[in-house]
Amino acid sequence: MKAEIYSRTNCVFCDKAKMRLSKYNPTVRMLDQDYTRKDFFKKFPNAKTFPQIIINGEHVGGYRELKKWLD
């Protein structure tokens, strides 16, 4: 499984997503280090929360959607 997490600092749900996906060695992209807010909203125009997660090229959504996807 290939996972990407678009994250930011001080984000509890970002940390939870990283833990849930840790065995898959996800690529973690950090706001203001790896991308800008403009980049984020261009990639995820309907996103309202952090993190945003992509698995195997498919946009899963945020942490709540990740939990449903994994269960």
pLDDT of residue 68: 97
Which mean pLDDT values do the consecutive 10-residue runs of the chain (71 residues) have?
A: 96 98 96 96 96 97 97 90
Helix H or strand E encompassing 58: strand 58-61
Q: What is the CATH number of the domain that holds 20?
A: 3.40.30.10
pLDDT of residue 13: 98
In degrees and rounded to multiples of 5, residue 47 shows phi and psi of -70, 140
Number of domains in the chain: 1
pLDDT of residue 42: 97
pLDDT of residue 54: 98
What Rg value do the Cα atoms of the chain yield, rounded?
A: 11
**What is the span of the domain harbouring residue 15?**
3-70
* Burial status of residue 18 (CB atoms within 10 A of its CB: 0-12, 13-18, 19 or more): middle
pLDDT of residue 67: 96
pTM over cut 0.95? no
